[in-house]
Amino acid sequence: MVFGAVFFVIVLATGGLDTGWTFYTPFSTTTTSRVTAAAAGAFVLGFSSIFTGINFVATVHTMRPPGMTWHRMPLFIWALYATAIIQVLATPVLGITLVLLAVERLFHIGIFDPTIGGDPILFQHFFWFYSHPAVYIMILPAMGIISELISVFSRKHIFGYTFIAYSSIAIAVFGFLVWGHHMFTSGQSILVSMIFSALTFSVSIPSAIKVFNWLATMYRGSIWLATPMCYALIFIFLFGIGGLTGLFLGALATNVHLHDTYFVVSHFHYVMFGGTLIAFLGGLHYWWPKMTGRMYSEFWGRISALLLFIAFNLTFFPQFVLGTQGMPRRYYDYEALLERNPQFEFDHQLSTIGTYLLIVAFVIMLVYLLHSLWAGRRAPANPWGAATLEWQCTSPPPHDNFASAPTVGDPYDFSHLRYDPETQGYIIDANRQPTDEAPHPDAGRAEA
Task: Return residues touching other proteins (CB under 8 A).
Answer: 50, 53-55, 57-59, 61-63, 88-93, 95-97, 99-100, 103, 107-111, 114-119, 121-122, 125-126, 129, 176-177, 180, 187-192, 195-196
Can you tell me whether residue 426 is helix, strand or coil? Answer: strand
Identify the H or E element spanning 420: strand 417-420
To other proteins, the closest distance from the beta carbon of 154 in angstroms equals: 35
Nearer to other proteins, 188 or 394 (CB): 188
To other proteins, the closest distance from the beta carbon of 132 in angstroms equals: 12
To other proteins, the closest distance from the beta carbon of 374 in angstroms equals: 34
To other proteins, the closest distance from the beta carbon of 109 in angstroms equals: 4
| Cα three-residue angle 352-138-223, rounded to 5 degrees | 80
Q: Which of 405, 142, 389 is nearest to 283 (CA)?
A: 142
To other proteins, the closest distance from the beta carbon of 349 in angstroms equals: 42
Distance CA 149, CA 236 (A): 12
Rg (CA), the chain: 24
Nearer to other proteins, 8 or 184 (CB): 184
Nearer to other proteins, 97 or 276 (CB): 97
| Packed helices 227-250 and 262-271: angle between N→C axes, nearest 10 degrees | 140
Distance CA 34, CA 86 (A): 28
To other proteins, the closest distance from the beta carbon of 61 in angstroms equals: 6
Nearer to other proteins, 400 or 436 (CB): 400
| Packed helices 262-271 and 120-152: angle between N→C axes, nearest 10 degrees | 40
Nearer to other proteins, 124 or 304 (CB): 124
Nearer to other proteins, 93 or 236 (CB): 93
Nearer to other proteins, 196 or 412 (CB): 196
List, in sequence order, every residue forming a beta bridge with 378; answer none if it has no partner. Answer: 294
Question: Are the C-beta atoms of 390 and 397 separated by less than 8 Å?
Answer: yes
To other proteins, the closest distance from the beta carbon of 395 in angstroms equals: 22
| 239-257: b (≥16 Cβ within 10 Å) or e | bbbbbebbebbbebeebee
To other proteins, the closest distance from the beta carbon of 129 in angstroms equals: 6
To other proteins, the closest distance from the beta carbon of 117 in angstroms equals: 5
Residues, the chain: 448
Please list, in sequence order, all residues whose beta carbon lies within 8 angstroms of the beta carbon of residue 424, skipping any fewer than 6 positions away.
377, 380, 383, 442, 443, 445, 448
Question: Are the C-beta atoms of 387 and 411 separated by less than 8 Å?
Answer: yes
CA dihedral 327, 330, 336, 342 (to 10 degrees): 20
Q: Which of 120, 112, 130, 118 is nearest to 45 (CA)?
A: 130
| Cα three-residue angle 310-263-356, rounded to 5 degrees | 35
Nearer to other proteins, 108 or 378 (CB): 108
| Cα three-residue angle 274-318-270, rounded to 5 degrees | 15
To other proteins, the closest distance from the beta carbon of 396 in angstroms equals: 19
Nearer to other proteins, 131 or 315 (CB): 131
Q: Amino acid identity of 405?
A: A
Please list, in sequence order, all residues whose beta carbon lies within 8 angstroms of the beta carbon of residue 438, skipping any fewer than 6 positions away.
155, 222, 224
Nearer to other proteins, 71 or 108 (CB): 108
To other proteins, the closest distance from the beta carbon of 137 in angstroms equals: 14
Nearer to other proteins, 10 or 103 (CB): 103
Question: Are the C-beta atoms of 181 and 197 separated by less than 8 Å?
Answer: yes
